[in-house]
Amino acid sequence: MALAATELRRYLLLLAQEHLEFRLPEITSLLSLYGGQFSSEQEIHVNSPFWILNIPSEEMARGLMKRTVCAKSIFELWGHGRSAGELYASLKNYPMDKMLPYLQSDSTYKIRTHTFNKTLTQAQKIKKIDALEFLPFKGKVNLKNPEHIFWILEDYGMDPNNVPEEPFHLYFGRWIADGQRELIESYSVKKRHFIGNTSMDACLSFIMANHGRVKPNDVVYDPFVGTGGLLISSAHFGAYVCGTDIDYNTIHGLGKASRKNQKWRGPDENIRANLRQYGLEKYYLDALVSDSSRPIWRKGMLFDVIITDPPYGIREATRRTGSQKEAVKSAERSTENHIFVSSSYHLSDIFFDLLKFAAEYLVMGGRLVYWLPIYRPEYTEEIIPRHPCLKLISNCEQMLSSHTSRRLITMEKVKEFKDQDQNSYLLDGQYMPYRGHNSFREKYFSGVTKRIAKEEKDNQK
């Protein structure tokens, strides 16, 4: 794929080799956020760590790297080939007027090497650098603090058991910027003040914010907010955040702790304290105790982005207010949870309610990003919940086990919500197949798990 625009410049993107399915939707979403657009003119090898992108400006490339957690670095691509000879020929054909500003006598530089799927000795690295002596470098080498950094990058393929002598692809370029991979460590759940059983991994939280195209001054909402992990990543990018949850204890930071060797939550373990920990409290609007099946909001398009991880019934129960005998027990209260008696909340109802809520309360062009649990032997694309006001943007799988996974679904509001859209999904048969996944919990824990595990063990013998 390539960007559809005129006067494009070629850049090399170096990506991290994790969450492979999530990388293209993240990069595509961020480029569209900065005014870029993908076309199908050039194919990207999705699983490769090297992508060549055509981007209108260096400013856009830098903007992309200020957000992405899937990419490590971006380079202005000066040369590319399938052999050293092809690379050198490509470099000799690169316009000299684009090179010269970075090769001046009053500048400093250094050259680095990077190989994927192979380790080079220091002598081999120096030999590759010396082979570039035909380039008209006039500045001084400064290894500690250079003005310009150039990279030789080599791709030795994806098979660690069959590493070739020579690389499949060679690249040379000027380093532009690094991505935001350090956020994964600095926002690690292990260091977070307030966590729960299902607190979202920091990397995935930032990926979700990027899929949702969260930007400064947006209002971001999480209807299953839990300990607020998804609010933190959105607030980091300058959005104002809020959420609701049916669990009174979680919202108020009460009850048993989720950390090992800690029995009860401390006096200041709550969502606000989490945002304060990262200097983001000013972006925190509030978190309310509320049942997502019964929206409390006034009518209107209130939210720029909705990002959420609904409960699957595995580590957190799927429930809503009310019971089978609601008429009899309407006055009954649960002192532990401070809400009316709860009843089961089928997965299909959770996701249909979520889509209907997003269709009604998102601004036009706003995005819904959520996780959908899947029993893999029964998965087809037809079971992805749909709504006439929402367009499916991306669908990425994260494996949970050999037979279960969850899919990160990103949808964009493309049509204004009308009264006739209230229950429109019930009128079309394509929305019904997902109802079979109401038994996801049973399938997750059933004897099917043991049978599949046994079959896999037998196959390994």
pLDDT in tens, 412-461: 999 999 876 666 555 455 445 555 555 666 666 664 555 556 666 666 65
pLDDT at 246 over 80: yes
Between residues 402 and 424, the one the model is more confident about: 402
pLDDT for the residue numbered 435:
59
Q: Report the mean per-residue pLDDT for the chain.
A: 85
Between residues 449 and 21, the one the model is more confident about: 21
Find out whether 359 and 417 touch, Cβ atoms under 8 Å: yes
pLDDT tens across 84-103, in order? 999 999 999 999 999 999 99
C-alpha count within 13 angstroms, C-beta hemisphere, residue 383: 19
pLDDT at 2 over 60: no
> Once rounded to an integer, what is the mean pLDDT over residues 44-56?
90
pLDDT at 260 over 60: yes
pLDDT for the residue numbered 171:
98
pLDDT for the residue numbered 231:
97
pLDDT for the residue numbered 70:
98
Question: In the chain, how long is the greatest CA-to-CA distance?
Answer: 87
> Once rounded to an integer, what is the mean pLDDT over residues 9-22?
95
Instruction: Please state at what angle helix 20-33 crosses helix 58-65, rounded to 10 degrees.
Output: 130
Helix or strand (DSSP H, E) at 86 = helix 84-93
pLDDT tens across 108-148, in order? 999 999 999 999 999 999 999 999 999 999 999 999 999 99
pLDDT at 236 over 70: yes
Q: What span, in angstroms and rounded, lies between the C-alpha atoms of 239 and 27?
A: 20
Q: Which of 2-11, 165-174, 264-273, 372-381 tops mean pLDDT?
A: 165-174
Return contacts of 261-265, CB within 8 angstroms, 24+ apart: 265/194
How open is the CA angle 342-346-347, to the nearest 5 degrees?
Answer: 125
Q: Which of 40-54, 120-134, 240-254, 269-283 has the lowest mean pLDDT?
A: 40-54
pLDDT for the residue numbered 329:
47
pLDDT for the residue numbered 327:
38
Query: Is residue 77 very low, low, confident or very high in pLDDT (cuts 50, 70, 90)?
Result: very high
191 C-beta neighbours (distance < 10 Å), count: 11
pLDDT at 375 over 50: yes
Of all residues in the chain, the percent with pLDDT exceeding 70 is: 78
pLDDT tens across 336-355, in order? 445 455 556 778 888 889 99
Closest residue by Cα to residue 53 from 93, 68, 163: 68
> Once rounded to an integer, what is the mean pLDDT over residues 248-253?
81
Between residues 454 and 249, the one the model is more confident about: 249
Q: Which of 50-54, 375-379, 398-402 tops mean pLDDT?
A: 50-54
Of all residues in the chain, the percent with pLDDT exceeding 90 is: 63
| Alpha-carbon dihedral 305, 311, 316, 318, rounded to 10 degrees | 120
The DSSP code sequence of 435-447 is: GGGGGHHHHHHSH
pLDDT tens across 291-336, in order? 888 889 998 999 999 999 998 765 455 555 555 555 344 444 444 4
Both structure tokens of 233: 């990543």
pLDDT at 185 over 70: yes
* CB burial of residue 100 (10 Å; 0-12, 13-18, 19+): exposed
138 C-beta neighbours (distance < 10 Å), count: 11
